[in-house]
Amino acid sequence: MLDQIRILKLISLTVVLGLFAGLQGCASWFSGDFQDPEVRLVKVDVVKARLLEQQFVLRFRIDNPNDDSFPARGLDYSVQLNGVPLASGESSEWFSVPARGHQVFDVPVRTNLWRHLKDIVRALEDPDQPIRYSLSGEVKTGLLFGRSVHLVRNGEIIPSNYIPEDSP
């Protein structure tokens, strides 16, 4: 019985020390050294476009300026074009972003733009006219004691840049 208690204490001590050793790499998260990664929407692919349902794939890129890699546990997002809600939702995909590197990940999206069709057609009447986009969201990082990285990006896209030219 006494040996079982000693073994149990030894195992407990080993687990606790292992946890502290594992958190040592995350020390910069708790100090002021952790720099927020940059998150960008780099591409929107249309998978299916039906009258009442549209399917897209949003491709995001996360750039890590830190000396340590970090795990990402998902993304909450909202995307608007000219103030029209294109998509919002949550991705729970887990991945690791390497130190001083980047990771690209895709988020499948289903939406119904029927009620916004008039606004979208109006925005696309002149394909050389820029369309404003707005991306807001939150990337969840870390394993146990993660932090959330808030993101807000605004910009413009020119639809004619994405329309394939007719080949002769």
State the distance between the two ends of the chain, measured CA to CA, in whole angstroms. Answer: 87
Distance CA 78, CA 30 (A): 28
Q: Rounded mean pLDDT of 24-50? A: 72
Domain locations along the chain: 34-162
Determine the average pLDDT of the residues in 9-24. 48
**Phi and psi at residue 69, in whole multiples of 5°?**
-75, 165
CA dist 50 to 46, 53, 155, 162, Å?
A: 11, 5, 27, 19
Q: Give the residue from 42, 38, 41, 44 showing the smallest Cα distance to 72.
A: 38
Other CB atoms within 10 A of residue 104 CB: 12
Domain covering 34-162 in this structure, CATH number:
2.60.40.10
**Each residue's pLDDT tens digit, 73-124:** 888 989 888 888 888 888 888 999 999 999 998 988 888 888 888 888 888 8
Share of the chain above pLDDT 70, in %: 76
Q: C-alpha distances in angstroms, 129 versus 65, 133, 153, 154? A: 34, 13, 20, 16
51: pLDDT confidence band, cut at 50, 70 and 90?
confident
Tokens standing for 32? 């002021």
> Which two structure tokens, joined as six digits, stand for 104?
């690209």
Give me the chain's average pLDDT, please: 79
153 backbone dihedrals φ, ψ, rounded to 5°: -130, 135
Distances (CA, A) of 128 to 79, 86, 117, 167: 21, 20, 19, 20
Mean pLDDT value across residues 11-36: 53
Picking from 61, 65, 143, the residue whose alpha carbon sits closest to that of residue 101 is 65
